[in-house]
Structure 1
Amino acid sequence: MAKKGSAQIASNRKAFHDYFIEDKFEAGIELAGTEVKSIRQGNVNLKDAFCGVKDGEMFLYGMHISPYEKGNIFNKDPRRTRKLLLHKREIWKLQAKAQQDGYAIVPLSLYFSGPRVKVEVALARGKKLYDKREAAAKRDAKREMDRLSRGRY
């Protein structure tokens, strides 16, 4: 969760559309220097990103960090797998829940906490099509009520 005094860089809005968020965790992320510079410029995309556990360590797959324009040979692959830094107990808890049917570990946002880049990851349960339709109907109804209460017709 983004704390006071931290600047949010990117958010995964698609995750809130596709999943019910059940539990959130803050994780550090292992990055190269040019990747941090590119993130500071806002050149990052979490849209297709997801997390997975391999050999007791958690990794972030599919996050795109555009190459830093002045990085030349030091730039890494934009879609490379990046290691997430979590306590072992947190990894075990997430892995146990994620193995249940319909659960996934998804990144929600990327932000700076002091000089460090942090990722907010969540344990999420997938929405069905009818859940998405219901959420859209509620959102539209709320928008309509707000519009009517302001006197705009």
Structure 2
Amino acid sequence: MSGLRNLALAQLAVKNLRIGSVIYKHCNFTTPEKNKYMVVVSLQPRLLVLLINSEINEFYIKKKLDHFHVPINQSEHNFLDHDSFANCIEAHTAFDLSTLKSELLENYSEIHKGWLSDNCLENAYHAVKSNNILRTGEQKEIIISIEEQLPHLAIKLHQ
């Protein structure tokens, strides 16, 4: 019976991975390499994530790009230790979706930390949609993915 229970829990863990999920993983593409919180913004046709940072990098402030960083209040996201920002300027493809799903099956609570509030996800949507820095293909993937998660955004578009 415990085998069936474990299988059900594993399937639930993978099903919980959706647009707006916040994951915590080691990032070998950051300087320095470290564990980072990231928000999942696309699962199809590939996994795309946005980095969550505790501060906005001075580079972005000087270039007047800080408005593309969405505030994430710790009070609404108890998995964070402090208020943070989702960097909506650059999407990352550093992780393979099937590998991530396998890792979730093995160690769900260490990787999947929770979800962005709908309000934060909507703010990320607007930041992604209004910037011309993201690669066009990635921008379209993110917009479509968030509209599928928050259908009212797509409806507003067509009214």
State the TM-score, normalized to the length of structure 1.
Answer: 0.27
Task: Name the larger-Rg structure.
Answer: 1
Structure whose residues are more often strand by fraction: 1
Structure whose residues are more often helix by fraction: 2
Name the structure, 1 or 2, with higher relative contact order (CA <8 Å, separation 6+): 1
State the TM-score, normalized to the length of structure 2.
Answer: 0.26
